[in-house]
Amino acid sequence: MLDADARNAVLLSLQVSVVAVLCTLPLAIAVAWLLARRRFPGHSVLSALVHLPLVLPPVATGYLLLLTFGRSGWIGGALAEIGIVLAFRWTGAALAAGIMGFPLMVRAIRLSIEAVDPGLEEAAATLGAGRWAVFCRVTLPLIGPGVLAGAVLGFAKAMGEFGATITFVANIPGQTQTLPSAIYAFLQVPGGEGSALRLVIAALILSIGAVLVSEWLARRMAARIAA
């Protein structure tokens, strides 16, 4: 059984991960389409910026978030004036998790878009469909499995994110303590190994469940596309 702090950490991690994926998925689809279908000055620069969180140490990413979105940051300060505070809040954890998972989402969706035959999109355009209609009615259904894969990768990354999160929002029980932070905290106190192990088991169950659900949804999408 999980104690109250452990349950709060699991629930907060789920909340943070879901919010992170829902908020970043539309942008990930747009950026992936832009990188896959368009060539423009700065294309390589945009691709490098998108993948930067993968190569930058997570703690460095968290510190940059603190400098940018903290109360004294150039964005965080403006947000604080209208009552929006991200640093040391669970919403900041969602922001950090979303940024860390964003490259994985873009990569999966971009590969899916590149696998779609452009001729199908051109055929729809010649029949009178506008760009938005082509994307919504042709491209998006075909890349559904890729979008789902990207969402699962982003969710998994968000669930396991530690470095950027703890740097940006700290490790406050009941407020910003996510599942990885709780495991780390339990391992720092004598006799906390049992609680840490129970959280690890909970993380395994959640991860396996997410993979199984994604596989089921992917099969349904593939069958629908084939039909």
| pLDDT score at 227 | 60
- 114, exposed or middle or buried, with CB in 10 Å at 0-12, 13-18, 19+? middle
Single-letter residue type at 19: V
Please say whether the dihedral angle defined by the alpha carbons of residues 30, 35, 36 and 41, taken in this order, is positive or negative: positive
Mean pLDDT in runs of 10 for the chain (227 residues)?
A: 84 95 96 92 93 93 94 89 91 95 94 88 82 86 88 91 94 91 92 90 87 80 68
Token code pair at residue 186: 């339990």
Element of type H or E holding 56? none
What is the rounded distance in angstroms from the CA atom of residue 157 to the CA atom of residue 153? 6
- 71, exposed or middle or buried, with CB in 10 Å at 0-12, 13-18, 19+? middle
| pLDDT score at 66 | 93
Determine if the pTM surpasses 0.85. Answer: yes
Q: What is the DSSP string of 198-210?
A: HHHHHHHHHHHHH
Nearest to 182 by CA among 1, 7, 39: 7
Measured between alpha carbons, how far is residue 2 from residues 15, 78, 161, 195 in Å? 18, 40, 21, 7
Nearest to 92 by CA among 194, 5, 161, 8: 161
| pLDDT score at 28 | 96
Contact 216, 169 (CB under 8 A): no
| pLDDT score at 206 | 86
What is the rounded distance in angstroms from the CA atom of residue 136 to the CA atom of residue 132? 6
What is the rounded distance in angstroms from the CA atom of residue 31 to the CA atom of residue 34? 5
Q: Note down the domain range covering 99.
A: 4-226
| pLDDT score at 226 | 67
Helix axes 90-114, 58-69, angle to 10 degrees: 120
Element of type H or E holding 142? helix 140-142
Instruction: Give residues with Cβ within 8 angstroms of 90, minimum separation 6.
Output: 12, 15, 16, 169, 175, 176
Q: What CATH code is carried by the domain that includes residue 9?
A: 1.10.3720.10
| pLDDT score at 225 | 65
Nearest to 154 by CA among 3, 10, 16: 16
- For the chain, the domain total comes to 1
Q: Is 50 helix (H, G, I), strand (E, B) or coil?
A: helix
